[in-house]
Amino acid sequence: MKKLLLLSLSAFAIWATGCKDEVDPKAVAKAAETKQLLAASKKDAIEVEKLNHDYKEMPDNRLFDNDGANGPVYRELQQRYKDQLGKLKKEVEERGSKFVVVLITPEVGREISNFSRYGNPFIRTTCQSMGIEFYDLSSAIAAQDPKVITQVPRDGHWSKKGAIFLADQLEPIIKKHLGHKTPDKFKDTERPETFGDLAPSTEEILDGGKDLPYKLKSNAQGLRMDHDVKFPKSKQHYLFLGGSQIYSPFLDNEFIATTILQSRYPDVEIMNAAMYAGCTDDFVSMWEEKAKYSEPDVVILQTNGTDITDLFFTNRNHLARSKKPYYPSPVEEKYFMESYRK
Amino acid sequence: MLFNTTDFAVFFAIVLAAYWLLYKWRNMQNLVLLAGSWYFYNNLHWSFPLYLLGMIIVGYTVGRAIHSQELQKTRKAILISGICLLGFGLTYLKYSGLILGNITGLSQWQSSALHILVPLGISYYTFASIGYITDVYRRRLPAATNPLTYATYISFFPHLLSGPIPSATNVLPQFSRSNKLTFQQIEQSVAEILWGLFKKMVIAANVEKVVNYCYASYEDLNGSTLFLGVTLFNLYLYADFSAYSEIARGVARLLGIDIAQNFKMPFFSRNPGEFWRRWHTSLRKWMLDYLYLPLGGNRGSKVQYVLVMLFIFSFSGLWHGANMTFVCWGLLNGIYFLPYILTDKLTRYKDVVASGRLFPSGKEFLQLLLTFNLITLTRIFFRAPNMTVVKGLVVKIFSASILAVPMALVVKNVLICLPMLAFEWVQREKAYVLELSKTNIYIRIAGYVAVVVLIYIFHKRQNLSEYYYFKF
């Protein structure tokens, strides 16, 4: 009996040492992919650092120094903007979602900057030529008193009254598309953890160094909202993409335009994936990586003239969310060198 | 260059090394300190050392002039002229808006209209200079003969920007005698610097934005949140200001100079009188020596005593800023003294609360709580930018919404401050908070390392906000 027990134990030991853990091929592939991504991002980070060292960030407004909007650089940036807008439109509409562009400038009152002077007409014609549903709020904003709708003199972003004004301006767009639904859905396993770039489930006070403290609250999905978006979805989803005009710094969540719209339309989901600083390049990458998985039925993109100039390569290397290197085109390189030689 | 930056660490390391390499030559040591102090001040703005130089020339000359005279009347006349001269700069730069701003035809002469910068720390070195010439007049100390010694004393960078306001009688002579540093002094200095850094970088830096938020968004917050916000400001102010004072004291001691302890765990006070003996003690001592006593102090009738006290607190309020909020803050503190003055209980409690016991008695606990909350209420005036905000805060705090659920973020930040208070409570009978001197050296070192680790883990990154009291 003892011998039998010993034999069995030996046999088990031999079998056990010969055994290997069952390997999930998907996990192996994922690990390899992560490793590759990490290596690539490390390489990218080194390249970005090198580029930032070689080419210091050039102020956007200097792009108009020579020929205003007629310079070759600005024309190249316009083309880049057009391509990215077209790409975003295509990807949004392929999913069956409605794509809407809203021009919201930070310029209140009579003064107008070169960004708007040259950028706004271009954006308008580009959207028209691409058949994008387009709303230009710049005239309505310009007609307002900056002291009422913004936080001047400390900052040019929306005041509480300004956010209500913005919500009033955006409301017709929401109303117009009530009922539009996309059939396209993602599986739970496909969805990333977040749909926006904010750290998920945080509540903190920020002030942007301007002594204008505000409470930033993000939901579990990294969006500037007080509640989480539920799946499978039971409501129509509106997704806002854009920059600080929609993100609305220096206001608590409860006072920003998207929260106001949410309270006016409780039967739809208004999602705010806007970022403090960004341009179309960032909006496209955000859409592809995260935002599309929120299954929006309507995508409202906020844009303005700075989204064109922000595509200059030095700006991208300093500010882009992708953290990938942006090499200068020959035109950009020439312009950069000439500008700094002066 | 703030104390909690690597720039300062490098600067201080150079000054410290040069200072002790020249330990045989006192004048050379002073020269190092003076050059270091002026470099430190110049870093803020090139014009600031010019004000300082003017103040030094006036203070030194007036001190010598008083000293050279025997006739009391002449000495007094020189003293008064000196105080007027020294006080003119401070009065003009800080209060011309209040004084000239309301007079037609003269408003264009106010300092802000002329775009003149108010040098940081001007109140502190003006008060130090006035204290010096008054002490010379009172024959408490001889006038400085060496201008280098005097200039080093006034410019000494640890107390230049935010005090403690030095007492010339105690501090000035230290700049003319040779000094040495014992291991015990080094340990105490390091311990004070570490605790100061902990309070600034872990407590004050983390809660500062929430405090600002509460005062800026008072219209949108309920009473309980605002009450906690004001409480948080009280704790923040203590952490920030006492941190600066403790680091300054530690840094000064490493240079062989002993400066006053500005805070003696003020939140463990049983009445407002005790609180003010423990809070910003160098300003209190200055007021006591150069205002309260010359005005008669408590030697006259009770009415006189009360009036003197109200004047002192109003003056203290104005010292903080030319704003009605500060005057009200001072007056409210003065009013707190009235019941104690009338019942002769103001100077009670000179010992440490619950001495020899871990916990206070029920009565002591209630006294601590009452004093803390009375002081907290004065902070509404101290931090609010104007009386409209004061009114808004008071109306909200004393409304039914004081019973509402407070904002979780504010509660969390108040809780962040509790470990600081708890540790200070345990150490309240010690000369300084991190005093672990009776324990084994290895345990002490482990304690200091633990504080460093805590600072490293919990410090608020990229927060380079100035110390709150720089503005005064």
pLDDT in tens, B310-366: 999 999 999 888 889 999 999 999 999 999 888 888 878 888 998 989 999 999 999
Q: Is the pLDDT at B255 greater than 60, yes or no?
A: yes
Residue B213 to residue A204, Cβ atoms within 8 A: no
The alpha-carbon gap from A218 to the nearest alpha carbon of chain B, in Å, equals: 14
Tell me, yes or no, if B70 comes closer than 8 A to chain A by beta carbon: no
* pLDDT at res. B141: 94
Q: Please indicate, yes or no, if residue A37 is contained in any of the structural domains.
A: no
* pLDDT at res. B232: 97
State the alpha helices, DSSP H only, in chain A: 2-18, 25-54, 72-94, 114-130, 138-142, 146-149, 160-176, 244-247, 257-264, 280-289, 306-309, 313-319, 330-341
Does residue A271 contact residue A225 with C-beta atoms inside 8 Å? Answer: yes
Chain B CA closest to residue A209:
B465
B contact test, residue of A215, A251, A252, A259 with most B CBs within 10 A: A215
Q: Which of A24-33, B139-148, B152-161, B245-254 has the lowest mean pLDDT?
A: A24-33
Minimum-distance CB partner of B209 among A205, A254, A255: A205
Residues of A in contact with B205 (CB under 8 A): none
Q: How many CA atoms lie within 13 A of A313 on its CB side?
A: 19
Q: Please indicate, yes or no, if residue A241 is contained in any of the structural domains.
A: yes
Minimum-distance CB partner of B213 among A215, A254, A255: A215
Q: Please indicate, yes or no, if residue A42 is contained in any of the structural domains.
A: no
Residues of B in contact with A214 (CB under 8 A): 213, 217
Q: Is the pLDDT at B464 greater than 60, yes or no?
A: no
Tell me, yes or no, if B236 comes closer than 8 A to chain A by beta carbon: no
DSSP string, B234-295: HHHHHHHHHHHHHHHHHHHHHTT-------S-TTS-SSHHHHHHHSSHHHHHHHIIIIITTT
* pLDDT at res. B331: 95
Residues 206-235 (B) with a CB less than 8 A from some CB of A: 209-210, 212-213, 216-217, 220
A contact test, residue of B206, B207, B213 with most A CBs within 10 A: B213
The total domain count for chain A is 1
DSSP string, B306-358: HHHHHHHHHHHHHHH-SSHHHHHHHHHHHHHHHHHHHTT-TT---S-TTTT-S
| Residue B28 pLDDT grade (very low, low, confident, very high; cuts 50, 70, 90) | very high
Q: Which of A137-146, B390-399, B438-447, B454-463 has the lowest mean pLDDT?
A: B454-463
Residue B217 to residue A252, Cβ atoms within 8 A: yes
Does residue B248 contact residue B156 with C-beta atoms inside 8 Å? Answer: no
Residue A213 to residue B217, Cβ atoms within 8 A: yes
Minimum-distance CB partner of B216 among A206, A213, A255: A213
Chain B CA closest to residue A252:
B217
Q: What stretch of H or E contains B114?
A: none
Mean pLDDT computed over B302-307: 90
The alpha-carbon gap from B463 to the nearest alpha carbon of chain A, in Å, equals: 10
Residue A205 to residue B409, Cβ atoms within 8 A: yes
* pLDDT at res. B241: 94
Give me the count of residues in chain B.
472
Residue A213 to residue B408, Cβ atoms within 8 A: no
Phi-psi label, residue A211: left if phi above 0, alpha if psi -120 to 50, beta otherwise: left
| Residue B381 pLDDT grade (very low, low, confident, very high; cuts 50, 70, 90) | very high
Least Cα distance to A138 among A305, A281, A260, A273 occurs for: A305
Residue B209 to residue A252, Cβ atoms within 8 A: no
Query: In angstroms, rounded to a whole number, what is the distance separating the alpha carbons of residues B121 and B126?
Result: 9
Chain A CA closest to residue B463:
A209
Q: Please indicate, yes or no, if residue A266 is contained in any of the structural domains.
A: yes
* Other CB atoms within 10 Å distance of the CB of residue A107: 21
pLDDT tens-place string over residues A176-206 = 999 999 987 899 899 999 999 999 999 999 9
Residue B409 to residue A204, Cβ atoms within 8 A: yes
Please give the biggest Cα pair distance in chain A: 101
**Residues B423-426: contacts with CB under 8 Å, at least 24 apart:** B424/B265, B424/B267, B424/B268, B425/B268, B426/B358
Q: Is the pLDDT at B463 greater than 50, yes or no?
A: no
The alpha-carbon gap from B152 to the nearest alpha carbon of chain A, in Å, equals: 35
3-class DSSP assignment, residue A174: helix
Minimum-distance CB partner of B213 among A213, A254, A255: A213
Spell out, as residue ranges, where chain A has pLDDT lower than 50: 16-21
Q: Which residues are CB-neighbours of A240 under 8 A, at least 6 positions away?
A: A246, A258, A270, A271, A272, A273, A274, A300, A302
3-class DSSP assignment, residue A204: strand
3-class DSSP assignment, residue B20: helix
* pLDDT at res. A71: 84
Minimum-distance CB partner of B213 among A205, A254, A255: A205
Q: Please indicate, yes or no, if residue A22 is contained in any of the structural domains.
A: no
Which structural domain, as residue segments, surrounds residue A304?
A: 56-341
Q: Tell me the two tokens of residue B404.
A: 């509402």
Tell me, yes or no, if A212 comes closer than 8 A to chain B by beta carbon: yes
Phi-psi label, residue A256: left if phi above 0, alpha if psi -120 to 50, beta otherwise: beta
Task: Tell me how many residue pairs between chain A and chain B have CB atoms under 8 A apart.
Answer: 30
Residue B212 to residue A252, Cβ atoms within 8 A: no
Least Cα distance to B372 among B238, B221, B203 occurs for: B238
Mean pLDDT computed over B190-197: 95
Chain A CA closest to residue B208:
A205
Residues 218-257 (A) with a CB less than 8 A from some CB of B: 252, 254-255
Tell me, yes or no, if A172 comes closer than 8 A to chain B by beta carbon: no
So what's the ipTM on this one? 0.78
DSSP string, A9-48: HHHHHHHHHH------HHHHHHHHHHHHHHHHHHHHHHHH
Minimum-distance CB partner of B212 among A207, A252, A254: A207
Residue A204 to residue B408, Cβ atoms within 8 A: no
Paired sense of beta strands A214-217 and A203-206, if any: antiparallel
* pLDDT at res. B55: 95
The alpha-carbon gap from A151 to the nearest alpha carbon of chain B, in Å, equals: 13
Q: Is the pLDDT at B462 greater than 70, yes or no?
A: no
